[in-house]
A = this chain, B = another copy of it.
Amino acid sequence: MLNFEFYCPTRVFFGRDQHKRVGEIIKSYGFKKVLLHYGEGSIKKTGLYDEVVKALNDAGIDFVELGGARPNPVLGLVRKGIEICRKENVDLVLAVGGGSAIDSGKAIAVGAANDCDPWLFFMKKREPERALPVGTILTLAATGSETSASAVITNEELKLKRGYNSDFHRPLFSILNPELTYTVSPYQTACGIVDIIMHTAERYLTQKGEAEVTDRIAEAVLKSTINAGRKALKNPRDYKARATLMWAGSISHNGLTGLGRDFFMVSHQIEHEISGMFEEVAHGAGLAVVFPAWMKYAYKYNIPRFCQYAVRVWNCEMDYANPENTAIAGIEATEKFFREIGMPTTMKELNINVTDENIEEMAEKCTNYGERTLPGYIEYGKKEIIDILKLCM
């Protein structure tokens, strides 16, 4: 078990009707002026917007609003949000939506409270000194952004997608009502399932550290997500299944499933280049393509670990004489499940036309033009990333 620090202070309000308490919750903290930040309007269609506005009004909370956060949220909107926060003396950013609205809200919160351009944080050129507090109402089980310290933003001018971690913008509170995910489409539900699995699986399939509690918790999250994922796709209004996915999503990316083990997210890093270049690619769908390719490339560096994954998560039989068979069976089970829930597992199925030049460019960007390698079983440089991307074709 490697040394670790664990800190997850977000207060979670989970369950039916909890979003109706948002005004009262904000008031209990003493905030007065909120930036209500959301996506492209689905919360208006579902009636959630009206319920949130009513709750804010009932509690006497003043607010300004900014919609328009889209999947792969962009820096332009973040800058606009920062301007509003400063002009209107906002003291809390309330993000209502999925990971995109929340990540965008986090970037606004940290940008508004510091004096430099927020992109510098994402490029690791500067460290923030503070942030406005962030609250969230979650409408999609996927990114775990509602309790995580991370945010991912796309610089639309540079076509660069970059993540950035900070305790400053970790949500102060998050409201999780599984009923708010009933209307999520099957495709987006499946993208979320993949994302939840990946946040845990990438922590699980690492080299160093032996951590029994962490391993078993990771397996708990993975098995629950697989079971509930199937049920939620069969019946979108299955409360128990939606609740399981929602809570699994939050736990999956708050650190808990990787404590005491080393931690690198190679598939996530590579996927960011795909959806950074092809904006139409949903993050979860991109991951469903990259992860099996990465596993096929990487399993041979840690066959025992891949066997544990196959047996404990996917109930594969252990082939004691030929463990490699079990490792491969686990990879196949993952790929089969992704297909079962309607996810693509190749670039072709993503409906994007990826050329050799594109792959070269993705690998260049992923290594910051040769400035870095990705750590893992091996050091992933440009050549290794190209090999993995080619396995995605």
A108, CB-defined interface residue at 8 Å: no
Report whether A4 and B11 are in contact in the complex, using a CB–CB cutoff of 8 Å. Answer: no
A216 lies within 8 A of chain B by Cβ: yes
Note all chain B residues with C-beta closer than 8 A to A228: 212
Q: Which of B12, B211, B224, B239 contacts A213 (CB 8 A)?
A: B224
Contact of B12 with A5 in the complex, beta carbons under 8 Å: yes
Mark contacts of A1-43 with chain B using CB atoms, 8 A cut-off: 1 yes-contact digit, 0 otherwise: 1111111110111111110000000000000000000000000
Q: Is A113 an interface residue, CB under 8 A from the partner?
A: no
B3–A210 touching, CB < 8 Å = no
How many protomers of this protein does the assembly include?
2
Known: A1-B239, A213-B248, A240-B210. A7 touches B11 (CB 8 A): yes
With A1-B239, A7-B12, A14-B5 already in contact, the answer to whether A227 and B244 are too (CB < 8 A) is no
Residues of B within 8 A of A15 (CB): 1-4
The answer to whether A14 touches B3 (Cβ under 8 A) is yes
- Residues on the B chain within 8 Å of A220, using CB: 213, 216-217, 219-220
Counting CB contacts under 8 A, is A223 at the interface?
A: yes
A243 CB-CB contact with B under 8 Å = yes
Interface size class of A (residues with CB under 8 A): 35 or more
Complex CA gap A244/B213 in Å reads 6
Judge whether A284 is part of the interface by a CB distance below 8 angstroms.
Answer: no
Smallest CB separation, A353 vs chain B (Å): 39
Answer whether A6 and B14 are a contact pair too, CB < 8 Å, given A213-B247, A223-B216, A228-B212: yes
A330 interfacial contact with B, CB 8 Å: no
Which residues of the other chain, B, contact A227 by a CB distance below 8 angstroms? 212
In the bound complex, CA of A15 to CA of B9 (Å): 20
A251 contacts B by Cβ under 8 Å: yes
Determine if A144 is an interface residue (Cβ-Cβ < 8 Å): no
Chain A interfacial positions (CB closer than 8 Å to B): 1-9, 11-18, 178, 210-214, 216-217, 219-221, 223-224, 227-228, 239-240, 243-244, 247-248, 251, 259-260
A-B contacts, 6 listed (Cβ < 8 Å):
A1-B178, A3-B15, A14-B259, A211-B243, A212-B244, A213-B247
Apart from A4-B15, A216-B220, A217-B217, list 4 A-B contacts with CB within 8 A.
A5-B13, A6-B14, A9-B11, A216-B224
Which 7 A-B residue pairings sit nearest by Cβ, starting from the closest?
A3-B15, A216-B220, A9-B9, A1-B243, A6-B12, A7-B11, A213-B224
